[in-house]
């Protein structure tokens, strides 16, 4: 079985083939997801919400991320594994970020994800120059929830849209290998995707990103309360989990998900 590497994903990007990402936190789902064709397993700090029952991601620790990365790596033979650096483990200094990222890579991650705009450029440069691939995460960055004042659309006005566009270019220049955009207007995400030469991954960012991601539990219809606009419940039309995930993969690859009802 051919492993999915950064080169595989870059080739897909160069061929304008969309790749698929879902969050994954354990070995069993790692096997199910990659058997259904998911290209990238994101060990997301959304585990704080969906596994730990917290209202934010802020209490997730490096030990949590290391443990779940190891579980996912054990269940995976093929997929590319990306792991979130949790709150407080990368902001202090590039050196500390490197030390902590090494633990995630040693646990089985192939890339780490870091939340934040231009302020993270120095850290991203430090990590990528030392052999650790990085996905930069901009737009709604849930670790900054108290500063942002809620889970809301980012880049909706001219000034913040310009800032996001600038951040994307700065992070690419710093060496970011991928750029994840969360809850930004579809038109802006398209413009940013066209302005950079690295793959973009969207969640609530419209169909024109190079790839799409959702939280696994959300796309399986396992959420409490109101469904977020950008989420589609793929279980609604499926007979089992495998079919729901396969349908997600097919819909993303065909450019059928997300559609206008899921974007801002």
Residues serving a catalytic function are 182
64 binds ligand KIV (CB under 6 A): no
Scanning residues 16 to 55, which ones bind ligand KIV (CB under 6 A)?
23, 42, 44-46
Residue nearest to ligand KIV (CB): 44
CA distance 109 to 134: 11
Kindly write down the DSSP assignment for every residue of 136-205, as one continuous string: EEEES-GGGHHHHTSS---S-SHHHHHHHHHHHHHHHHHT-SEEEEES--HHHHHHHHHH-SS-EEEESS
Q: How far apart are CA 187 and CA 193, in angstroms?
A: 10
Question: In angstroms, what is the minimal distance from the CB of 212 to ligand KIV?
Answer: 10
Nearest distance, CB of residue 42 and ligand KIV, angstroms: 6
Query: What is the Cα–Cα distance from 244 to 232, expressed in whole angstroms?
Result: 11
CB count in 10 Å sphere of residue 93: 12
Q: Does 213 bind ligand KIV (CB under 6 A)?
A: yes
The size of the interface with ligand KIV (CB under 6 A), counted in residues, is 11
Q: Restricting to residues 226-245, name those near ligand KIV by CB under 6 A.
A: none
The 148-187 contact track toward ligand KIV, x by CB under 6 A, reads --------------------------------x-x-----
Binding flag, residue 139, ligand KIV (CB under 6 A): no
For the segment 187-206, give every residue that binds ligand KIV (CB under 6 A): 203
156 contact partners, CB below 8 Å, separation of at least 6: 185, 264
| Interface residues toward ligand KIV, by CB under 6 A | 23, 42, 44-46, 84, 180, 182, 203, 213, 215
């Amino acid at each position: 079985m051919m492993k999915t590497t950064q080169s595989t994903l870059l080739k897909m990007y160069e061929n304008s083939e969309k790749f698929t990402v879902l969050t994954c936190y354990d070995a069993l789902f790692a096997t199910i997801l990659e058997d259904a064709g998911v290209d990238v397993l994101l060990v997301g700090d959304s585990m704080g919400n969906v596994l730990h029952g917290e209202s934010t991601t802020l209490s997730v620790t490096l030990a949590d991320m290391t443990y779940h990365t190891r579980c996912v790596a054990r269940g995976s033979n093929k997929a590319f594994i990306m792991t979130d650096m949790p709150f407080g483990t990368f902001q202090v200094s590039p050196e500390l970020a490197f030390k902590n990222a090494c633990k995630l890579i040693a646990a089985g991650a192939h890339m780490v994800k870091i939340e934040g705009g231009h302020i993270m450029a120095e850290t991203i440069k430090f990590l990528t120059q030392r052999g650790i691939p990085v996905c930069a995460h901009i737009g709604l960055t849930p670790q900054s929830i108290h500063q942002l004042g809620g889970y809301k659309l980012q880049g909706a006005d001219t000034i913040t849209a310009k800032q996001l566009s600038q951040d994307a270019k700065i992070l690419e220049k710093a060496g970011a290998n991928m750029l994840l955009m969360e809850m930004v207007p579809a038109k802006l995400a398209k413009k940013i995707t066209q302005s950079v030469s690295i793959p973009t991954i969207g969640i609530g960012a419209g169909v024109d990103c190079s790839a799409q991601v959702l939280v696994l539990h959300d796309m399986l219809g396992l959420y409490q309360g109101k469904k977020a606009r950008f989420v589609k419940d793929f279980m609604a039309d499926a007979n089992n989990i495998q079919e729901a995930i396969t349908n997600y993969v097919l819909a993303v690859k065909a450019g059928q998900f997300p559609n206008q009802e899921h974007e801002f």
